[in-house]
């Protein structure tokens, strides 16, 4: 493997100059920079990250913690953020909470052990774990504390849009399938849905699911004990769970959207391929992922960055699962 010494030999410059150039840590003339860059390219030089870390006192790694990769929304988010990390020539340490406080703690200890330069945590279970850490953190959805930036979708607005859509579709009963009560985003979605229903003088019925999808949960285990009727409009807390609901509706001999209209929240990458394709509230995975990474990157450079919550706008996306209007 090509070393810094080899680059010094090829360019006729000192190792100190090469090191200053590579670590952006002092003056290097334009002419020398061009010579070094040419030699690096011609030799396919791979920088030694450990040496760089010692010099800059930064590990060059980011900790990324997601609930799991089973839910396509989080899989997409992790891929997108991971790509940004890689593009900036940083390392990524990926951890999974599966919405479990013990797993979250273990991931936190691993990140701190590796001295990561920053952490992005998606749907933190245990806010107190993160509050006292002396490392830049961006949190998706969970409000950890005033010193930690939260990025979240406009969930209340999304809930309101969902209700208005089902109302326009002539639905007669409004059902909200809600997920675990501690997911902040879900409480907000529910608030928007219920507020809009109350304003329209309509009642909301609830179905409670105890978890989001995890590695060992099958559709069968989440059988939904509820009697659906023709004319129902169902708003499910996220897209992947809308699948179970459509399954339950079909198993009762009803069709979506002819008998029951169903919609989700996310616009995960698979929702367009469900049968029927799923109407949903698009919570902009690309913008959200980019924003999380860019904020963390800025925070690493400048810890005094404004810590206010960033809210990403949402849009209703109409597809086949709510097609037609009930007479």
The footprint of ligand XLF on this chain (CB under 6 A) covers a number of residues equal to 12
First to last CA, the chain: 73
In the complex, minimum distance from the CB of residue 159 to ligand XLF, in angstroms, rounded to a whole number: 12
The contact pattern for ligand XLF, residues 108-137, with x = CB under 6 A and - = no contact, is ---------------x--------------
Residues 270-309 that bind ligand XLF (CB under 6 A): none
Regarding 178 and contact with ligand XLF (CB under 6 A), the answer is no
Q: Which long-range contacts (CB under 8 A, 24 or more apart) does 43-49 make?
A: 43/2, 43/6, 43/7, 43/10, 44/2, 45/2, 45/7, 46/1, 46/2, 47/22, 47/89, 48/4, 49/91
Q: Are 159 and 190 in contact (CB under 8 A)?
A: yes
Q: Which of residues 220-249 bind ligand XLF (CB under 6 A)?
A: 238, 240
CB of 270 to ligand XLF, least distance (A): 11
256 binds ligand XLF (CB under 6 A): no
- Taking phi over 0 as left and psi of -120 to 50 as alpha, with beta for the rest, 246 belongs to alpha
- Under the binding rule (CB under 6 A), the answer on residue 183 touching ligand XLF is yes
Pull the structure tokens for residue 254.
């009803």
Cα distance between residue 121 and residue 118, in whole Å: 10
Secondary structure of 264-298 as H, E, C letters: EEECCCCCCCCCCCCEEEECCHHHHHHHHHHHHHH
Nearest-CB residue to ligand XLF? 238
141 binds ligand XLF per the rule CB under 6 A: yes
Q: Which of the residues 191 through 220 are near ligand XLF (CB under 6 A)? A: 212
Min dist. Cβ of residue 106 to ligand XLF (A) = 21
Q: How far is the CB of 288 from ligand XLF (least distance, A)?
A: 9
303 or 313: CB nearest ligand XLF: 313
Residues that bind ligand XLF (CB under 6 A): 71, 73, 123, 141, 183, 185-186, 212, 238, 240, 265-266
């Amino acid at each position: 493997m090509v070393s810094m010494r080899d680059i010094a030999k090829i360019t006729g410059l000192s190792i100190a100059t090469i090191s200053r150039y590579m670590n952006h840590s002092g003056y290097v003339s334009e002419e020398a920079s061009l010579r070094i860059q040419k030699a690096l390219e011609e030799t396919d030089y791979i920088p030694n990250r450990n040496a760089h870390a010692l010099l800059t006192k930064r590990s060059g790694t980011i900790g990324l913690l997601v609930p799991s990769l089973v839910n396509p929304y989080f899989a997409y988010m992790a891929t997108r953020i991971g790509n940004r990390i890689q593009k900036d020539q940083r390392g990524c340490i990926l951890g999974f909470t599966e919405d479990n406080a013990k797993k979250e703690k273990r991931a936190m200890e691993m990140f701190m052990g590796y001295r990561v330069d920053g952490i992005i945590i998606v749907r933190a279970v245990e806010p107190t774990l993160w509050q006292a850490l002396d490392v830049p953190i961006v949190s998706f959805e969970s409000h950890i504390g005033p010193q930690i930036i939260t990025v979240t979708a406009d969930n209340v607005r999304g809930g309101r849009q969902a209700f208005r859509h089902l109302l326009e579709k002539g639905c007669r009963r409004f059902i909200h399938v809600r997920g675990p009560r501690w997911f902040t985003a879900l409480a907000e979605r529910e608030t928007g849905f219920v507020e809009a229903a109350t304003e329209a003088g309509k009642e909301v019925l609830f179905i409670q699911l105890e978890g989001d999808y995890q590695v060992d949960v099958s559709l069968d285990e989440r059988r939904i004990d509820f009697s659906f009727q023709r004319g129902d409009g169902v708003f499910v807390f996220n897209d992947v769970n809308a699948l179970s609901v459509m399954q339950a509706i079909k198993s009762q001999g009803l069709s979506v959207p002819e008998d029951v209209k169903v919609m989700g929240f996310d616009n995960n990458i698979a929702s367009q391929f469900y049968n029927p394709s799923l109407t949903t509230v698009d919570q902009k995975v690309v913008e959200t992922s980019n924003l999380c990474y860019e904020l963390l990157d800025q925070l690493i450079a400048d810890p005094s960055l404004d810590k206010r919550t960033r809210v990403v706008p949402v849009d209703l996306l109409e597809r086949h699962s709510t097609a037609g209007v009930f007479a």
